[in-house]
Amino acid sequence: MGADTRGALDKETHLPGRVMDFLDSLDAMIDYAVCEDVDAVIFTGDAFHHHSPNPTYFQEFGERIIRLSEQCPVVIVVGNHDMPGSLDKASAVDVFTTLKVPNVIVGWDYDVHKIDTKHGRLQIATFPYPIKQQFLDTKEIKFPNSAELFQERVCYMIHELESMLSEDEPAVFAGHFSVSEAMFGSEQSMTIGTSADIPIKELISDKWSYVALGHLHHHQSLSAAGEVPVVYAGSLDRVDFSEENDDKGFIDVSIYDEDGIYPAEWEFVSVDPRPFKTIRVEATTSQNITKKVLVIISKRDLKDHVVRVIVSATEDNADTYVANVIEEALKSAGVYLVHGMRLDIKREQRNRLELEEGEDIATYSHLELLDIYFQTRDLEDDKINKLLDLAKSVMEDVNDSKKF
Ligand SMILES: [Mn+2]
């Protein structure tokens, strides 16, 4: 919650529309859990975007976790976004432990929790986001091979947990980290150089019935047929436009008892997330850009969508782009949120960064300057957009001054 705080405020909660979208997705999951009478729920981390969430976010999240805990035990693994900048401070979800909320277990430690469900004992190993400082001492962090050492120790810890399991009860691994073979999105740029990427083979073990992972936003299954399922549920809603084409939801896992062996089956359940749409208009040869964009808008179903508009123009026709007319048309089309409007002006190729005459460099934002620079490199629009999205994440990350 709180990764995207745009959108008109909700009349009841006064929370931004996009925050409400994430809560609606959470509600869809809880409704399903109650309706299907599930035995346990595992939340694989990053409940909040920041470790000190706005109290209203916390209230809304907390009410939902309590409702869920009335259905069944709830295990919450601590993700990097939930973690404070210092190991002796509390995480965003520790309050459930402090207040001893029945049926809610916060996975702050590398540990095996034995949980009694309606259908018997379930072992859940929790593996919060591994922090370098926990696995290496200050001397080791400076070693040239510190990344390998870190990875080795995290893998060792995974196998330690395996050795803590009872053979006669099913076991689920619930972790928050990257797997080397996985597909990354914008979340990758947030942890470059500080995260331990775990090879998939370290998680493939007969000891686990199921390996539930969090951290990566894109839902994906990583193991081969016949192996234990290793699955990222993915984020419960779209975090940004890099996830425009991803469906969003959660995983329904069934574990069977076959004479002391506990195989699992799983399925992805969509929460029917808020739809996103990028309207990309190549208008470098148009007489009237606004007219062209309006025609495109009129042909699309944009009702209740989060929309961004990216238009390419030239210096000659750029003045036919009228942003507020386009924005009005989007509103009339029932768009839920205009997430951004960008006019890319194709200029003659330049070999160095040049600003218009009389323009002061200080009036440009860092992102705008990067955009201008990328244009001079003659990169494809798609590539520029990806780079700008990544740059934005890095800048936000620096602004957050997060330690890891
Ligand atoms: Mn994470």
For 36-51, how does the pLDDT look when each residue is reduced to its tens digit (9 = 90+)?
A: 999 999 999 999 988 8
**CA of 315 relative to ligand 1 center, distance in Å:** 42
**CA of 46 relative to ligand 1 center, distance in Å:** 5
Band of the pLDDT at 355, cuts 50, 70, 90?
A: low
Give the pLDDT confidence score for residue 4 in this predicted structure. 87
Q: Which residue has the higher pLDDT, 88 or 41?
A: 41
Range from 152-156, 158-162, 225-229, 396-400 carrying the lowest mean pLDDT: 396-400
Residue 366 has pLDDT above 80, yes or no: yes
**CA of 214 relative to ligand 1 center, distance in Å:** 7
Give the pLDDT confidence score for residue 404 in this predicted structure. 45
What whole-number percentage of the chain has pLDDT above 90?
68
Contact status, residue 124 vs residue 172, Cβ threshold 8 Å: yes
Question: How many CB atoms sit inside 10 A of residue 63's CB?
Answer: 11
What whole-number percentage of the chain has pLDDT above 70?
93
**CA of 384 relative to ligand 1 center, distance in Å:** 25
Task: Please state, in angstroms and rounded to a whole number, the distance separating the CA atoms of residues 318 and 279.
Answer: 17
Band of the pLDDT at 94, cuts 50, 70, 90?
A: confident
**CA of 232 relative to ligand 1 center, distance in Å:** 12
Give the pLDDT confidence score for residue 53 in this predicted structure. 85
**CA of 143 relative to ligand 1 center, distance in Å:** 25
Give the pLDDT confidence score for residue 282 in this predicted structure. 94
Residue 241's SS3 state is: helix
**CA of 235 relative to ligand 1 center, distance in Å:** 10
Give the pLDDT confidence score for residue 402 in this predicted structure. 46
**CA of 55 relative to ligand 1 center, distance in Å:** 21
**CA of 156 relative to ligand 1 center, distance in Å:** 21
Taking the alpha carbons at both ends of the chain, their separation in whole angstroms is 19
Q: What sign results for the dihedral spanned by CA atoms 331, 334, 337, 343?
A: negative
**CA of 212 relative to ligand 1 center, distance in Å:** 14
- What's the pLDDT tens digit per position in 125-151? 999 999 998 999 999 999 999 999 999
**CA of 191 relative to ligand 1 center, distance in Å:** 9
**CA of 349 relative to ligand 1 center, distance in Å:** 40
Task: Please state, in angstroms and rounded to a whole number, the distance separating the CA atoms of residues 168 and 382.
Answer: 52
What are the distances in angstroms from CA 289 to CA 294, 297, 309, 333? 9, 12, 12, 18
**CA of 16 relative to ligand 1 center, distance in Å:** 22
Instruction: Tell me the pairing of strands 264-270 and 276-282.
Output: unpaired
Give the pLDDT confidence score for residue 401 in this predicted structure. 52
Residue 85 has pLDDT above 90, yes or no: no
**CA of 74 relative to ligand 1 center, distance in Å:** 19
**CA of 164 relative to ligand 1 center, distance in Å:** 26
Mean pLDDT (whole number) for 64-76: 97
**CA of 45 relative to ligand 1 center, distance in Å:** 7
**CA of 128 relative to ligand 1 center, distance in Å:** 10
- Shortest CA distance to 80 belongs to which of 133, 23, 151? 133
**CA of 361 relative to ligand 1 center, distance in Å:** 36
**CA of 78 relative to ligand 1 center, distance in Å:** 9
**CA of 47 relative to ligand 1 center, distance in Å:** 9
**CA of 298 relative to ligand 1 center, distance in Å:** 39
What are the distances in angstroms from CA 315 to CA 229, 283, 292, 322, 345? 54, 11, 17, 14, 6
**CA of 190 relative to ligand 1 center, distance in Å:** 9
For ion ligand 1, residues whose CB falls within 5 Å: 46, 79-80, 215
What is the pTM assigned to this prediction?
0.83
Mean pLDDT (whole number) for 242-255: 96
Contact status, residue 169 vs residue 117, Cβ threshold 8 Å: no
Provide the mean pLDDT of the chain.
Answer: 90
Residue 187 has pLDDT above 90, yes or no: no
**CA of 49 relative to ligand 1 center, distance in Å:** 9
Band of the pLDDT at 381, cuts 50, 70, 90?
A: confident
